[in-house]
Amino acid sequence: MSTRPVPPSFAAGAVRVFGLSLGEMLWSRRTVFLLLITGAPVFLALVARIVQGSGVVPLRVNGAAVDGGSIFGMMIWVFFLRFIVPVLGVFYGTALIADEVEDRTLTYLFTRPIRRGAVLVGKYLAYIVSTTLVVLPSVVLVYFLLVPLGQVARTFVAFAADLGLLALGLAAYGALFALVGAALKRPLVSGLVFVFGWEQVALLVPGYLKRFTVAHYVQALVPHAMPSEGVASLLQSVLRDNPPALVCILVLAAVVGAALWLGVKAVESREYVLDQ
Amino acid sequence: MPIHDQGYRRYAGRRRPTGTAWWVIARQQIRTVLSQKRYLILLLLAWVPFVGRVVQIYLAANFQQASFLATSAQLFRGFLDQQGLFVFLLIVGASGAIADDRRANALQVYLSKPLTRVEYIAGKLFAPLAFVLGVTLLPALLLLVVHVAFSGSLTFVVQNLYLLPAIVLYSVVLALVGAFTMVALSSLSKSRRFTALTFTGLFFFTTAMYQALQRITGSRLWALISPRDMLSVIGDAAFRVPGARALPLWAALLGMTVIIALSILVLERRIRGVEVVK
Amino acid sequence: MTIVTSEHLSKWYGQVSGLNDVSVSVPSGITGLLGPNGAGKSTFMKLITGQLRPSKGQVRVLGEPIWDNPALFQRIGFCPEQDAFYDRMTGREWVSALAGLHGFDERTAADAAARAIAAVELTEAADRKIGSYSKGMRQRIKLAQAIAHEPELLILDEPLSGMDPLMRRRTVKQIKEWARNGTSVLVSSHILHEIESMTSNILLINNGRIVAEGDVHQIRDLIDEHPHTVSIRTVQAHAVARELLADEGVVSVRFDPGGLVVETARPDAFYARVTDLAASGRFGPIDEITSPDDNLQAVFRYLVKQ
């Protein structure tokens, strides 16, 4: 080869790593896990549709009769917002670099003429595409299973908002846990403690603490009423103070940007010692 | 002969009887866990609720004013429920049981020894089983002993004879289902992290699924998809907690048996000396 | 031209020293990096491939610092020791994808991958998943990803591990071919005869320190406390022995069937003496003169004391 190409720029390197990682993420066994947990709400929606269609038992939530739209809203809250989005963020975000370290394949990426940070960003992009490609269609299926066609026009804007906020939630949690995965030795425990510990507590406590959670801003964008089952949810709904939507979007975008920037810094300064 | 042969000689000493090789694996697993500070701390912390209950029993037995703290069957049920977090963390700690061996290609090495697959699996199951029983069955039984010691009589035990089998049943079912599920999941992956996350996800998600389905359809039979709620039914029945249960006891026990059977099926298929890659 | 230079390079992991005050200059060509297990070879490899940052001192590869300098990897190819891959990808896909990270467009990357795979004789298996490869095939595909972008410097960590003897010979031949074509190669191994078949230029590490560097024969000459062993095949062994024992430098003589083995502390003078004896013909023909320990194994043994 008489002429060597110019080493890829940061962005070009990230795009190439994205191409390499997307296939690995989409066709791995983890996708089974991803499909299972995003398939469950679809299954629930199917059950609800059948129950509703049979006319034998009217759909009820906590004893009160509800329509499909309300159940869709409940599922957005209970499944997607409170579980699927943060868990996927922890699951995939912390694994972006940690998986390569564990599999001892990181060396191949870090001995290429691309910045280490580009590797992180490229894998993050692959995570975004993989998760939104599976989660958003699940939401679409649930929507069309639950919401009667006659109500689609009325609820479509809220539905589009749901899709957008879920994508934004995936991006924000993913970036945050990509940083955690790049910077910490045991990112999984830290991630789970953040999601199921810190965020749950901070949302319950009155005051400014909730502003240091991602959930506060994502949940503020939800166009559906928060379901109140149990003391915790009741407290959360009482103590909610929703910032304006634009503020939430900007904060979440800032979280993505800051977390990725810090993650890039962490990856470029850290030494990764692979098990031999 | 003045000059002795320094070459290789076959071992002519005593050998353990066949079928005991599982203990070698189990012992190694236990040693590995106990060598890690965080698990030692976890095991110690798991006994803190026991100490609290001991204080409660002591106060109830010795101070009239504390009679409201008197020992009842619910004390034991409550204690075992309280240990739930520690049980969860101990089981998640076993996520690398087989995943680590698969990662290191050690299965071939293990199964090339005079060690059957059953022994291998038994060895891997032993550690999580032992640790879970060590923070559930053992302290619960000790609480019974403590009560007898502080009250000075066997009256409570005699009047509540069902407590002993209830404690054993609940603890053993909890330990068996947790250990089998985790070890089976561990055999599906080469990553202990992935296994831990999958277990955590399944655990919380099945509960959420049950609650959602129960609300939508009004039927509590959906508890069959939630191991946590099936265990709750078993506990309620064993400890004779009054009130309607989501499922009949036999259904909950059957459900748990199905989970264990599925785990055994997965293990049977995954524990092999070679992996065929197409 | 020096391909790797280090000055007072040290690396420690907490309290444990991995590498201790290493100052070397590795010339172009093929250099063998040798040392027993735990000597510091891996640490040195990781430092010169930018995976670790020096605790002290500095290291330069191809004249530039390697840490946080990814552009330099355009000129370096690295074949790591670990047997780790994206098992779901085929060999061709994997090598192409990694070549693509060097800035090649898709077509060029695919062509480069095909050439590299052909060079390691894996074309027939290139479209099979790496997970189905044997150990030797995996090793070869690892080599392929290191050479696909035609680097100036190849850093190979145990490149022959897992290969059968025939493939080892072919790979050694290929490595020498690359060197002849201008690529410098730094090979880490503890299989001495393979390094010896590739190069006489070595870097010997033990206990985190450089023990010796340079030509193996020159190093041997400098090892004074181990007299050179010279084996002489001749019919009149006793007569030759009597003659040679008069020399001051001769330390010991012992007899073998068909000749004698002499230990001498002054090899140059000794060889001159034996040449004279052979030329004079006074003791009949001297059929063969060899030095069993003028080789890498002896150097390794004497310096590392194993």
Query: Which residues on adjacent β-strands are paired with residue C7?
Result: C58
Give pairs for B51-54: CB < 8 Å, separation 24+.
B53/B79, B53/B143, B54/B143, B54/B146
**CA A30 from chain center: how many Å?**
15
pLDDT tens figures, B241-264? 888 888 999 999 999 999 999 999
Query: Where in chain C are the domains?
Result: 2-215, 223-304
Chain B partners within 8 Å of C129 (Cβ): 277-278
Average pLDDT over residues C223-242: 84
Contact C38, C206 (CB under 8 A): no
> How far is C-alpha C186 from the chain's CA centre?
7
Say yes or no to pLDDT of A122 above 60.
yes
Q: Is residue A98 scored above 60 in pLDDT?
A: yes
pLDDT in tens, C9-32: 999 888 888 898 999 999 999 999
- Residue of chain C whose alpha carbon sits nearest to that of A115: C70
> B187 — contact with chain A (CB < 8 Å)?
no
C2-215 folds as: Rossmann fold (3.40.50)
Q: How many CB pairs under 8 A join A and C?
A: 97
The CA distance from B253 to B169, in Å, is 10
Overall average pLDDT of the C271-281 stretch: 86
Residue C56: closest CA among C25, C11, C13: C11
Residue C80 has pLDDT above 80, yes or no: yes
B238 burial via Cβ count (<10 Å: 0-12, 13-18, 19+): buried
Tell me the C-alpha distance between A82 and A166, whole Å.
11
- Domain C223-304 matching CATH 3.30.310: the answer reads no
Average pLDDT, chain A: 85
pLDDT of residue A275: 66
Chain A contact residues (CB < 8 Å to B): 29-30, 33, 37, 40, 44, 47-48, 51, 57, 59-62, 71, 74-75, 78-79, 83, 87, 90-91, 94-95, 98-99, 102, 188, 192, 229
Q: Which domain holds residue B69?
A: 21-270
Going B85 to B87 to B88 to B90, the CA torsion angle's sign is: positive
Optimal mutation site among B38, B194, B225, B277, interface A, most CBs of chain A within 10 A: B194
Q: What percentage of chain A exceeds 70 in pLDDT?
A: 88
The neighbours of chain C, by the rule of 3 or more Cβ pairs under 8 Å, are A, B
Residue of A nearest to B197 (CA): A91
Max avg pLDDT among A55-69, A154-168, C144-158: C144-158
Q: Is C194 exposed, middle or buried (0-12, 13-18, 19+ CB in 10 A)?
A: buried
Length of chain C equals 306
Among B103, B189, B277, B278, most C C-beta atoms within 10 A, so best to mutate, is: B277
pLDDT for residue A226: 65
CA B73 from chain center: how many Å? 22
**Distance between A65 CA and the closest CA of chain C, angstroms:** 50
Choose between A95 and A29: higher pLDDT.
A95
Q: What is the pLDDT of residue C109?
A: 94
Write down which chains contact chain A via at least 3 CB pairs under 8 A. B, C
Token pair listed for A82: 């409170």
Sort A87 into a burial class: Cβ within 10 Å, 0-12 / 13-18 / 19+.
buried
B12 part of a folded domain: no
| pLDDT, tens digit, 9 for 90 and up, residues B101-151 | 998 889 888 988 888 999 999 999 999 999 999 999 999 999 999 999 998
> Looking at residue B277, what is its pLDDT?
60
Q: How far is the CA of A194 from the CAs of A180, A198, A202, A214, C27, in angstroms?
A: 10, 5, 10, 10, 52
Within a domain: B275: no
Q: In what order do the strands lie in the sheet with C228-234?
A: C250-256, C259-264, C228-234, C286-290
CB contact under 8 A, C82 and A107: yes
Pairing of strands C250-256, C259-264: antiparallel
Question: Quick check: B63 contacting A, CB < 8 Å?
Answer: no
- φ, ψ dihedrals at C285, nearest 5°: -70, 140
Size of interface A-B (CB pairs under 8 A): 62
Q: C53-70: buried (b, 16+ CB within 10 Å) or exposed (e) per residue?
A: ebeebebbbbeeebbeeb
- Smallest CA–CA separation between A35 and chain C, in Å? 19
pLDDT for res A231? 56
pLDDT tens digits for range C183-229? 999 999 877 778 888 898 989 888 888 888 888 777 777 666 667 88
With 0-12 / 13-18 / 19 or more C-beta atoms within 10 angstroms meaning exposed / middle / buried, residue B119 is: buried
Residue C89, φ and ψ in degrees, nearest 5: -90, 155
pTM assigned to the model = 0.81
Cα–Cα distance for residue pair A206/A226, rounded to 1 Å: 17
Quote the CA–CA distance of B273 and B43 in Å, as a whole number. Answer: 34
Cβ–Cβ below 8 Å for C87 and B277: yes
d(CA C130, CA B86): 41
- Give the best-scoring range by mean pLDDT among A218-232, B198-212, C142-156: C142-156
Rg, chain B, Cα only: 23
Binned at pLDDT 50, 70 and 90, residue C1 comes out as confident
> What's the whole-number mean pLDDT along residues C275-294?
83
Round to whole Å and give the CA distance between B59 and B65: 9
User: Among residues 209-248 of chain B, which lie with CB inside 8 Å of chain A?
Assistant: 209, 211-213, 215-218
Q: What tokens does C213 get?
A: 């560097």
Has residue B10 been placed in a domain?
no
H/E element, C91 = helix C91-100
Q: Chain A contacts of B216, Cβ < 8 Å? A: 44, 47-48, 51, 59-61, 71
Chain C: give the shortest CA distance to residue A167, in Å.
28
Between chains, do C49 and A111 touch, taking CB under 8 Å as contact? yes
Percent of chain C scoring above 70 in pLDDT = 96
Q: What residues make up the domain containing A260?
A: 10-269
- Only one residue has tokens 């200059």, namely C25
**Angstrom distance (rounded) from CA A85 to CA A252:** 14
For the ranges A69-73, A145-149, C110-114, the one whose mean pLDDT is highest: C110-114
| Sign of torsion over alpha carbons B233, B235, B236, B237 | positive
Output phi, psi for B83, to 5 deg: -75, 0
Tokens read off for A170: 């995936």
User: For residues C282 and B261, which has the higher predicted lDDT (pLDDT)?
Assistant: B261
Nearest C-alpha in C relative to B277: C132
The single-letter DSSP state of residue C82 is: S
The pLDDT of residue A228: 57
Q: Is residue B163 part of a domain?
A: yes
Please name every residue paired with C203 in a beta bridge, in sequence order, or none if there are none: C33, C213
Whose CA is closest to B198, among B180, B185, B207?
A: B185
pLDDT at C272: 85
Ranges of chain B whose pLDDT falls below 70: 1, 273-278
Angle at C95 between CA C93 and CA C98, to 5 degrees: 105
Q: Which tens digit of pLDDT belongs to each residue from C64-77?
A: 999 999 999 999 99
Chain C closest-CA separation from residue B103 CA (Å): 11
Does residue B228 lie in a domain region?
Answer: yes
- Residue B238: CB partners within 8 Å, gap ≥ 6? B162, B165, B166, B169, B170
What's the half-sphere exposure (Cβ side, CA atoms, 13 Å) at C284?
12
Q: In chain A, which residues have their Cβ closer than 8 Å to the Cβ of C109? A: none
Of A111, A272, A276, the CB nearest to C81: A276
Say if residues B50 and B79 touch (Cβ distance below 8 Å): yes
Mean pLDDT of A150-157: 86
**Which amino acid, one-letter code, is at A35?**
L
Q: Which amino acid is at C56?
A: K
Cβ-contact A116, A267 below 8 angstroms: yes
Banded pLDDT at C47 (limits 50, 70, 90): very high
The 3 state secondary structure assigned to chain A is CCCCCCCCCHHHHHHHHHHHHHHHHHCCCHHHHHHHHHHHHHHHHHHHHHHHHHCCCCCEECCEECCHHHHHHHHHHHHHHHHHHHHHHHHHHCHHHHHHHHCCCHHHHHCCCCCHHHHHHHHHHHHHHHHHHHHHHHHHHHHHHHCCHHHHHHHHHHHHHHHHHHHHHHHHHHHHHHHHHHHCCCHHHHHHHHHHHHHHHHHHCCCCHHHHCCHHHHHHCCCCCCCCCHHHHHHHHHHCCCCCHHHHHHHHHHHHHHHHHHHHHHHHHCCCCCCC
The total domain count for chain A is 1
Long-range CB contacts (< 8 A, 24+ apart) of C64-72? C68/A268, C70/A7, C70/A112, C70/A113, C70/A114, C70/A115, C70/A116, C71/A7, C71/A113, C72/A113
Task: Examine the pLDDT at A73 and tell me if it is beyond 80.
Answer: yes
C102–A115 CB contact, under 8 Å: no
Q: Which residue has the higher pLDDT, A238 or B48?
A: B48
Say yes or no for a CB contact (<8 Å) between A62 and B212. Answer: no
pLDDT of residue A62: 59
% of chain A exceeding 90 in pLDDT? 41
Note the pLDDT of residue C174.
Answer: 93
Count of structural domains within chain B: 1
User: Using an 8 Å Cβ cutoff, are C219 and C299 in contact?
Assistant: yes
Contact criterion met (CB < 8 Å) for B194 and A57: no
Partners of C87 on chain B (C-beta within 8 Å) are 277
Whether the Cβ atoms of residue C204 and residue C190 lie closer than 8 Å to each other: no
Residue A20 structure tokens: 């390499």
Chain A residues with a Cβ under 8 Å from any Cβ in chain C: 1, 4-8, 12-13, 16-17, 19-20, 23-24, 27-28, 103-105, 107-116, 268, 271-274, 276
CA distance A86 to A80: 8
Question: Which chain C residue is nearest to residue A265, measuring alpha carbons?
Answer: C68
